[in-house]
Structure 1
Amino acid sequence: MTTETTGATGLSTHIQRLLTRIRSFDSRRPWPWDTALTLFWTAVALVDASGGWRNTAPDPTVPARLVVTLSLLLTLPLYLRRRSPTAVLAVMACAALVSAASGAFLQACYLQLIPLFHIALTRRPRALLWAAALLVPPLVTGAVRFPRGSWDQHVVPTLWGYALVALLGIAVRSRKDHTAALVDRARRLEIERDQEVRLAAAAERTRIAREMHDIIGHNLAVITGLADGGRYAAVKHPERAAQALDAIGTTSREALAELRRLLGVLRDDEQEAARGPQPTLADLDTLITGVRNAGLPVRLDLQDTPTPQPLTPGAQLTVYRTVQEALTNTLKHAGEGARATVLLTYTPQEVRAEITNTSASTNDSQGLDRPQGQGLTGMRERAALYDGTLESGPLPTGGWLVRLRIPREGSPS
């Protein structure tokens, strides 16, 4: 059953693509199809005019030249059926009226269904009234002039055929309008999605700016306190004043570095920013404990130098958020049986954070590269603020890897 369904779906898709190509070619070059259709029906009508029309004609003595002329008038105008269907129907209706009045009753008169379909497909509903006014006179004329049985046997069935063709044209037109509306809606949704992605990226930059604002505000407050304390200590304890000045210099340099990284980050117009303590690397144990409690086994490995240099608060926050985002996506997308490892490596030149999982999930991206998700984009922007890099991708043995590198202060980027 599955194989049959898959084969049917593949055949349907192939047919749909073929029809799409045919429609595209026809919209770009309509004349080959119009010419082929017109020549085909002209040839059929002329074959009927060679003598077959007498099998159904009430008056077989109609001149052959008139029959040929009427056949051409009922077929050649079909070439213009798409551009001027009403005018084509008018010419064909006149020929059909002569055919009915002369008693030829040519079978080519049924070709009036073609321009009638195009009127229903491309013109306003009011145009169908004019089409009815052109189609009815030949039927009534033939029924009155050459009655065979009751007159409604010749008029009513043909009118029903005209009505069904008009309804078919209306149905096709409704479907095309509906499809066009769906395509337009899909295009608008795609534009809105792109706008939402940009807005989400802007919101992420704003959130980063707020966090940096908190850090810099803290540094300035520390500087202010050290300066006030140093002024009072300068009188009785000059050595403590010198220590305060050293601390002010260190804190000022850190704050200046944060301000330089903050350049180019867009802020929103809100005056009140969310305030609160930001997590540091010391909070990783709490984070990992919460992830373990949520059901994901996580192992934390630390590779440290003998005398590691401390990271700035902003860099610690970047590492923390990266680990948090990677573990969260592992919880959401890795599936059952996943295990995660967090490896933090401190060197004199840089700090590396590698988060891996051993998931067997078939979803390689694990939600990181989805258009609506901004986790990976936000982490890359955070890393870029500190001249760092963020890499992510599937592992050859299965699972996913997120690697963050942040250079230390004063080391080559």
Structure 2
Amino acid sequence: MRPAPEPFTELDARRLGPVRRYFARHPVVMDWVIVAIFVVPGVLYSLFAEQPHGSSPWSLVFFLLGGALLYWRRRRPVTVALGLTALGVLAIAVTGDTAGFEVAAMFAVYAVAASRPSRIAWPVLAIVVLALSAATLLWYDVITTADGEVLRQSVEPGRATVDRIVGILVTTVLCLIALAIGTNVRARRQHVSDLVERANSIARDRDQQAQLAAAAERTRIAREMHDVVAHSLTVMVALADGAKASGAKNPELAGHALDELTATGRAALADMRRVLGVLREPGGEQTVPLAPAHETPELEEIVERFRTAGLPVRLVRSGPQPTPGPALRQTAHRIVQESLTNVLRYAPLSPMVLVEVSRRAEPGADWLELRVVNQAGRRPGEGASADERGLPPSVAEQHPPGVPVGTGRGIIGMRERAAVYGGTVSAGPSGTGWEVRASLRLDLDPGRETGGRDDGRERS
């Protein structure tokens, strides 16, 4: 059995360099890199830079808390963005400085835009920018350095200054850039994901088609085996019984029956080898030699074989005779063969068996009509020739009403064969016996030849 294909992943579809591929396969490493980008400079600034009002411990706390929140940006992007915004507002209010939270806000907005639709990303962006801008406008102090000393110039809260306006613009621009990049990344990921899903869907469909084809092939093999075994064994049993019955009285007839029995057995064996030959494992050792396609016997040969087995079969062709292709001809012959096999099996004493082949043309369709009908035979002393099921009394005794006669696979197989050519098969009692009718559309046969012969001949 062929192993299932490995699923096609997004990494297979993306053209990444070694560094990007590494981070794509190990996203936690990228989480720590982003945390380090925010925390390390902030911690160094808090520990070594001179700040007014002894605000260094608070700055350190805010940086560490911000780094902890940033680590979860992929898993809870909206929550992290809102949490960092609140922490940034608090940091500006306490320390008088943005403390690098505009960078943290940029990473948070990117995470939201890259993982959430625009209807969520834009409101989050508005909240982040408005909150940090308001805090900057209200509490950001202007810090300048002169002669190596750190000075703090208090400005009236809410008053616009160049530094405050620049801080607001920096926060806004960084967040807008992050939103644009994140939205583009999300759209690209969605496109790649759609391509991946389509590729996997095509692979699944291909495997399903292969499984369906294998199932159809198994069904075909089972149908062929049924036709070969049922037909050949039934004929062989009838020939053996005939040879046994006529052995003493007519040795020549018995010898002819045995010759026909041998020929039927060999033909059945060849058919079975042909059918089972398709079961070779692909790439495995060839156990059955390749041969040309099996030649379907003509209807006359089929009828003659059953006539030799003891059935009084008559073949009648009426109207212009079509010349179907090999496949449709095999279908028609298999239907006739299965019908005659059932007659030989369930009504071997039938006094009359008729096989009719005709052609029916109608607007938009050209039909090949088959009809196999038999009269239910009876042994000396038996009453009615057939019951309501079309069975002779001797067979009806073995199959009381309600007990199925046979497996039904033969009729199912005939209907499946006919359905390939848009046809139908009906089978049932005819009052005096059993009748099978089949219709096959000749215009659906790509291998047929146009025209036909009008012989109207009867063969008996």
What TM-score, normalized by structure 1, do the two folds share? Answer: 0.47
Q: Which one has the bigger helix percentage?
A: 1
Q: Which one has the bigger strand percentage?
A: 2
What TM-score, normalized by structure 2, do the two folds share? Answer: 0.43
Larger radius of gyration: 2
